[in-house]
Structures are given as structure tokens and as C-alpha cells.
Chains A and B, each alone.
Chain A
Amino acid sequence: MKILVAVKRVIDYNVQIRVKEDGSGVVTDNVKMSTNPPDDNAIEEAVKIKELGKATEVVAITVGEEKAQETVRKALAVGADRGIHVKVDGILEPLAVSKILQKVVDKEKPDLVFMGKQAIDDDCNQTGQMLSALLNWPQATFASKIDVKENKLEVTREIDEGLETIEINIPAIVTCDLRLNEPRYASLPNIMKAKKKPIEEIAASDLGVDVSPRLEQLKVEEPPKRKAGIKVANVAELVQKLKNEAKVI
């Protein structure tokens, strides 16, 4: 069984995001970038399944600019066998990424495709679902537990009401939640070894996918600053203010 895992390069989760002055986006110059955190869980799970002897190969893929390759290299350092980097510059929307992944799936013929439930930069939470539709494969989203059975997966999903356990047929798409596992650290010898593992570079244009954006971004702005609160003397004043000033009751 072969598992394809998609990883994305995003601004590190510890970095305070700044909006560009002209409102055209967020500042990425001189900003620490990392792998999208739930993508780390996706890689970890795939590697674990391989270590259990239930998968034979883990392939990490990223779609993006030159430096996005760092995320594939990191995946190789924690146990992925080889990498694919589909090179695209500029804005990438989930539909374009799904279409690229579809082409790669056609070629690679994996049994499972894993990825994070959403990316922490645009929070779209669409790529897995769109890929599922394009391939017409079953999907299990927000996975917090995965059991590989004979030609089937038993997946526990994090949903609003609690946990939902479903069974889906392989081949399938699984999007991973942060609760799925604790990603391992890349050890120094494994980082060294990862430098020698192959990464195939593909130009998006060679896959025949139109990656031009479908959405027009009008403006990016910071959320409004919270105004300072006031202290009220008693309940009566609070009620009066809620009624007359805030007009919420």
C-alpha cells in the first residue's frame, strides 16, 4: 500500500502575522516559515502505518514556490521515502492544488492520500474535500484516529457533537486533525539521510493544470482592535448600559 501525503509551507505558528501596509496581503519577508502543523500529523500517521507494516511507501508532496521544498525535505527526515515538488509561483487556491494532486494521484496511484485538515494561513479547509470529489474517492475529514483494516479504514472524526467513527473503502482521502498523534522530531542522522533522498521536481504547467486564481482578493486588513472596557458600579448600571448604550437587551 502506498500513501501520498500533501504538505504545505506556511508562516510559522509562533509568528505574529502582520498585514502589508497596502492591504495586498500579509508580510512574508524575513518571516520564519514552517510546515503547516496538521500536515506534520499527516506525515507522522503515514510513517506510523508504514512502521506497522501496513504500508510500503510514503511519498511526500508539496505544491508551491522554490522554498516550499523545505517542507518535503522535513517530511523525508521524519520517515517519508521520497518527495515530489510541484513548482508554482504566486497565489495558489485550493481548487488548483486539488487539481494538481489529482494529476499526481493518476500518475502515482497511491492507495491513500493524507493531508492536514486545513492550512493555518488561509484556513480554507477545502483541498481534501475537493480532491475527493475530483477523484470520486471516499473521504474522512478531521481524523483523530485511523485504523487500517483489510481494504478499509476505520476513522474517528472530530465533529461538533463529539467523536464520530466511520468506515470507508480504500482508496481514500483522509484529512488529519492535530489530535491524531504527536509528530516525532527529526533526528540529526535522519536529516542527513533525508538530504540524499530523491525529490522529483515537476512544473505545474507540465501537468496541464490551470492554476490561475478564481477568486479576486479585494483587501486584507487586520481585525479591529478591541476597545478598552469600562467598570460599572452595580448591576443596575450594567443593565441600563446594555439596554441603552449597547442595545443588546
Chain B
Amino acid sequence: MSRESMEYDVVIIGGGPSGLSTAIKLKQLDPNLNVCLLEKASEIGAHILSGNVFETRALDELLPNWKELNSPIKTKVTKEKFLFLGKTKSLSWPTWLLPAVQQNHKNYIISLANLCRWLAEQAEALGVEIFPGFPASEILYNEDGSVKGVATQDMGIDKEGNKKDSFEPGIELLGKVTVFAEGCRGHLGKQLIEKFELNKSKDPQQYGIGFKEIWEIEDKNHEEGLVMHTAGWPLDNSTYGGSFMYHAENKQVFLGYVIGLDYKNPHLSPYDEFQRFKTHPAIKKIIEGGKRISYGARALIEGGFQSLPKMFMPGALLVGCDAGTLNMPKIKGSHTAMKSGMIAAETINEHFQEKKDLSIFEEKFKNSWLHKELYEARNVKPSFSWGLILGIIFTGIDQILFRGKLPFTLKHKHADHETLKPANKMPKIDYPKYDNVITFDKTSSVYLTGTNHAENQPVHLKLKDPDLPINYTLEKFNEPAQLYCPAGVYEVQKENNINKFVINSQNCIHCKTCDIKEPSQNITWVTPEGSGGPRYGNM
């Protein structure tokens, strides 16, 4: 089938912090470049979900006058707390004893979605063409194997794959250089990493699933600028995770929970851990009397330095968490994603101006503060594979005494899909019932995401083997997709005593957890029709 094609100097896939920073930096370096940016969400920001305590380092370099440009960066961090939670008690950890990377007094509490909307305005003002609602679904290659560009998804295909009256074929977007900035577990980035063996001799990538709710709370409980993190309950010593609570403007708190996807117990439900976390007295007293106004979830990168793939390949670059630039001990990925995009832009500019190879990215990266930051952070996450307590002790030594300069590098041993133990060997977990005041069921949570996919389109969650969920995964692992999916997409239903695996793909909130955690890697997330997915506001 022939498709229309459009040519650009640079095609960028993804309108998050890394993609938008690439676009802005490119136009700053050379205003004559033709740059376009594709985004699968219905508008920029609608698929962005992040804590977020923002470090301005990269933005200071990209747009030094951001304070004069009416940026949505307003709430300075004024106070910090770190709590260890027991089942009912909590122990406050003095902040001066926290590693420097976890101190936030120079940072801001922001909505990353709003920051991206604002960055998109800056990019458009510089002449970047931004196309929301157009997922890149396919990578195009030149005859020599280099990346040629991408094709957007066909629109108007029915469930059986037939063209509807509204059929609109995809477009080929050809770039002299293509930049992939899809975020964590990008479905094209995943293909590139495999094809170009970008992760050769690297540790397996590590992921987490992050939940976030926005609450409007009572005045007396709100302390604008307060940043609080917790570790401990409800997770056991061997499961990596913790919470965040950021008091933002307008009486809102951003409340969230992150759990490492290397958890072992298939009976663990990340969603329910988050819900019951909110019932802890130290948390409940803050949100009680308030109202939950948003919910969402997204997988995030935790592998860091050891797992970071090569970020260049013939004709293309991989930036932000599509590669994996998040700094785990800092619990921040926005400034690092932005910086990686800026380095990509500098690389591309020299590639065009001085005919240098894209591989100069590597040297530029190595000479940047981004590299230094990720290197020094590298040993924290793997040390938690020894459990929470040893992890904290090691991290104290590594981060406070040696500031990340210990002369060895710990390894990530397993990919997250390999860590589940058989269901019959692991304890069942009895989660409390939802009270519809503090805790809520998945359905009403998903409702808040505003997610939707046009009806009667092909299912965008592909099973390599459609029988595997029932024939193998259900028996061995109790089909954990029912639990790890934060949107209730996967269900095992009994019909006439026969188990059936049901995929409610219209509920999908594009978090990518299934693509990561499925023990046999049987589920592949592909792009649905454009504009599908959540409609996050200030997430």
C-alpha cells in the first residue's frame, strides 16, 4: 500500500520532556531546520504522569529566562520529611541524614504535564511542528539498514482489520535524523534496542510501576511546598518501593506510590498496595476530608547507568526514558530526560553542520553532568535487592560517605519478567475492602483518567500465544496481569466453567506494565488509534 510521505530534517517521536527539549534546542541551534514532533495523546501533556519535584538544572540551560516566560514552575520546596512506616507507627528520619541527592530545597513541585504543555508552546513559537493525536506505529529503514523515519498509525480500521468509511491511511515521516523519545518502554524504542543490539553487554533494564492521585485537601492539612517520602509499610522488606506526597498549589497534594517491577509474589497487587498505603494513620490524617480528583499510573525506568543502552544508531537517537535516563536515588527523571534531549540536539546539529557521525553523542554524553549524575547513582537500586534495611545502610555508605564514588558497580541480575515465583509457593495477600472515601476500586479510578479508545478498533495489546494466559500463566502464576495492570484491562472470566482471558483494551492507560512484567513476555503493547488513552490534566 502506498502512503503519502513528508520529509523533515528531524522527526521526533514523543512530546515529553526529552522530545520537547530536543526540539527546542535544535531550533535554537539552527532556526532553519525543519523539525516535527509526533505525540500519540490527544494533546501534549495528556499522557504525561510524574511526581513531580523538579530540578531546574537542564531547564536553566535550555531556557535561562524561564521565570519570565510564565512557566508553570511556581511552588518552591519549603520543607522535607522522610518517614519509615510501620503498620501503624511512623518514624521520621532527619533530613540532614539524607544523601544530598535526596535533598530538594532548591527544587520545585510541578505538574510535568503542564510543564510539557508550556514547553510545547515554546517549541511551536520557535517553529517546531507538533502533531498530537498521531502515534508513530512503525519504524522505516533505508536499504543500508539505517533508520529512515516512521509511519503513523492507520486510522479507521475495525476490529477485524477492515477499513471503515472513515479510513485514513498513515503517513510516512522521513527524517534525516529520527529521535525516539517515547518514554519508558517505548514500543518503537524496544524494537530499536533489539535490532541494533543497543543493550549489548548492559544489565537487563529495571522498571517500576508508579501510581499517582491528586487530592484536594482541607486547608488545615495543606502545607504548600512540603515534600514527603516514605518507605516501609505496606511493602515487605524484600519488595522495593515507596511513596511520595507533594503539597502543590491550590490546596492540592500529589500522592503516589512506586513499586519495583522485580517483585516476586504473583499475588501482590501494586494497585492495592497503593490503596492500602493511604490508610496508614500518617497519610490518612492528611487526605481525610479531602477529595480525590485524579488518578493514573505509568511504568518508569529504574535500571540507571548499568542498564542504559547505547543511545545512537545509524540515522537515529534514543533519548530520555525511551533509553532510561531516570536517576533512581534522586527519584527524578525530568531534568535528565531534558538534558539527554539537549545533547541529542547538539549532536544532530554537528552532524548536519560538520558531517560528524551521530556516534559523537557518546562522547558528549560522557562529558556531561548527566553522565556524572547517573554514574554516581548507579549502586543504589541494585543494593536494594538485598532488602530494604541492607539497601538503606549500603546507600548511606555509598551516597553520603563516598558520594557514589565507590570503585565497583553492582549488577542488576534479572529482568523484571523473570522474578515471579510460582503462585502456589508464595503467600496470598489479603487486601482490605475499598471504603470509597480513602480507597477506591479500579473501575472508579480508571474513570478519573478519562481514558478512551475509539470503539471497534483492533485490540492494541497483542498476545504472541493467545492460549498461554489460560494454559500456563493462570495455573503457574495465577495470571498476574489481573493484578499488575493498574486499569483492570486483563480479566480471567469463567464461562460455563471454562476460563477465558479477557482484554478490555479500551481501559488501557498506556502504562506499559504488561509489556514489561508478563512472565513469558507474551503481551506486546502496540499503539492504538491516535488520540486514544488517558486524558490527564495536571498529572
Chain A interface (Cβ < 8 Å from any Cβ of B): 12, 14-16, 18, 21, 29-32, 34, 182-185, 187-189, 191-192
Q: Are the C-beta atoms of B450 and A15 separated by less than 8 Å?
A: yes
- From A14, A32, A182, A192, B165 is in contact (CB under 8 Å) with A182
User: B46–A189 contact, CB under 8 A?
Assistant: no
A21 in contact with B216 given A189-B4, A189-B6 (CB within 8 Å): yes
| Interface assignment of B134: CB less than 8 Å from any CB of chain A | yes
Would you give the 0/1 interface string for B502-539, flagging 1 where the beta carbon is closer than 8 Å to chain A?
Answer: 00000000000000000000000000001000010110
A187 & B171 in contact (Cβ 8 Å cutoff): yes
Given contacts A188-B171, A189-B4, 9 further A-B contacts (CB under 8 A): A15-B450, A32-B46, A34-B42, A185-B168, A185-B530, A187-B4, A187-B168, A187-B171, A188-B6
Q: List 12 A-B residue pairs with CB atoms under 8 Å apart, sorted by A's residue number.
A: A12-B535, A14-B535, A15-B537, A29-B538, A30-B113, A30-B114, A30-B537, A182-B165, A187-B168, A187-B171, A188-B134, A188-B171
* Residue B349 interfacial (CB < 8 Å): no
Determine whether the beta carbon of A188 is less than 8 Å from that of B152.
yes
CB of A16 within 8 A of CB of B129, answer: no
Q: Is the CB of B216 within 8 A of A15?
A: no
Asked if B111 is an interface residue, CB under 8 A from chain A, the answer is: yes
Name the residue on B nearest A188 (C-beta): B171
B66 part of interface (Cβ distance < 8 Å): no
A189 to B173, CA, bound (A): 11
Contacts of A191 in B (CB 8 A): 131
Do residues B171 and A16 form an inter-chain contact, with CB atoms below 8 A? Answer: no
Task: Answer whether residue B104 sits at the interface, using C-beta atoms and an 8 A cutoff.
Answer: no
Residues of B within 8 A of A (CB): 4, 6, 42-43, 46, 111, 113-114, 129, 131, 134, 152, 155-156, 164-166, 168, 171, 173, 216, 293, 447-448, 450-452, 530, 535, 537-538
Please list the 8 inter-chain residue pairs (A to B) with the smallest Cβ-Cβ separation, ordered nearest first. A30-B537, A30-B538, A185-B168, A185-B155, A14-B452, A14-B450, A32-B535, A188-B171
Whether the Cβ atoms of B535 and A15 lie closer than 8 Å is yes
The dominant DSSP class at the B interface is mixed
The complex places the Cα of A184 from the Cα of B163 at a distance, in Å, of 13
- Chain A residues with Cβ below 8 Å from B530 are 185
- State the CA gap A188–B153 with chains docked (Å): 11
Q: Which of B114, B168, B171, B447 contacts A184 (CB 8 A)?
A: B168
A187-B168, A188-B6 given as contacts; is B129 within 8 A of A18 (CB)? Answer: no
Separation of A187 and B166 alpha carbons in the complex (Å): 11
- Complex CA gap A15/B450 in Å reads 5
CB distance from B516 to the nearest CB of A (A): 26
In the complex, which residue of chain B has the Cβ closest to the Cβ of A32?
B535
On whether the beta carbons of B166 and A12 are closer than 8 Å, the reply is no
How far does the Cβ of B7 sit from chain A's closest Cβ, in whole Å?
12
Nearest Cβ on chain B to A148's Cβ, whole angstroms: 19
Contact across chains for A185 and B166 when beta carbons are under 8 A apart: yes
Query: Are A16's CB and B450's CB within 8 A?
Result: yes
Distance in angstroms from B128 CB to nearest chain A CB is 13
Interface pair A192/B538, CB less than 8 Å apart: no
Chain B residues with CB under 8 Å of A32's CB are: 42-43, 46, 450, 535, 537
Q: A32-B46, A188-B134, A191-B131 are contacts. A16–B4 as well, Cβ < 8 Å?
A: no
A12 contacts B450, C-beta separation under 8 Å: yes
Q: Is the CB of A192 within 8 A of B535?
A: no
**CA separation between A189 and B155, bound complex, in Å?**
14
B116: shortest Cβ distance to chain A, in Å? Answer: 12
Tell me the bound Cα distance from A15 to B165 in angstroms. 27
CA distance A18 to B448 in the complex (A): 10
A51 to B412, CA, bound (A): 60
Bound complex: CA A207 to CA B306 (Å):
65
Q: What A residues does B111 contact at CB under 8 A? A: 30
Contacts of A185 in B (CB 8 A): 155-156, 166, 168, 530
Cα A185 to Cα B451 in complex, Å, equals: 19
Residue of B nearest to A228 (CB): B436
Q: A32-B42, A32-B450 are in contact. Are A182 and B6 (CB under 8 A)?
A: no
> A185 CA to B166 CA in the complex, in Å?
7
B282: shortest Cβ distance to chain A, in Å?
Answer: 26
Instruction: Please tell me if the beta carbons of B168 and A14 are within 8 angstroms of each other in the complex.
Output: no
